[in-house]
Homo-oligomer: A and B are copies of this chain.
């Protein structure tokens, strides 16, 4: 059980939900994440920064109707990390049933 450590970048109340969102789609906008997860702007920015600093997601900026739009998507590395995370979580909980 010891080595089944849970990636602290992913295993955090807000970020786990962000990852679930990102994993379920190709890419997701800042506004969508904010609304869907009910986060403050600052909170979302800093969490995304942390995820990107880990190399788990990347950002794209463009304009739609003269408004800035920031889009995030998981990198290959991020998707892989999330898979490993899910596998470990499952293993940990499977052991409860002994």
Interface flags, A1-33, vs B, CB<8A=1, else 0 = 111111110011100110011011000000000
A17 x B36 contact (CB < 8 A) = no
- Contact partners of A16 in chain B: CB under 8 A: 6, 11, 89, 92
Query: Are B17 and A93 closer than 8 Å at their CB atoms?
Result: no
With A1-B36, A2-B36, A38-B2 as given contacts, are A96 and B13 in contact (CB-CB < 8 Å)? no
Residues of chain A having any CB pair with chain B under 8 Å: 1-8, 11-13, 16-17, 20-21, 23-24, 36-38, 86, 89, 92-93, 95-98
Sample 11 A-B pairs with CB under 8 A, ordered by A number: A1-B37, A2-B38, A6-B13, A6-B16, A6-B17, A11-B11, A11-B12, A16-B92, A20-B96, A24-B97, A89-B89
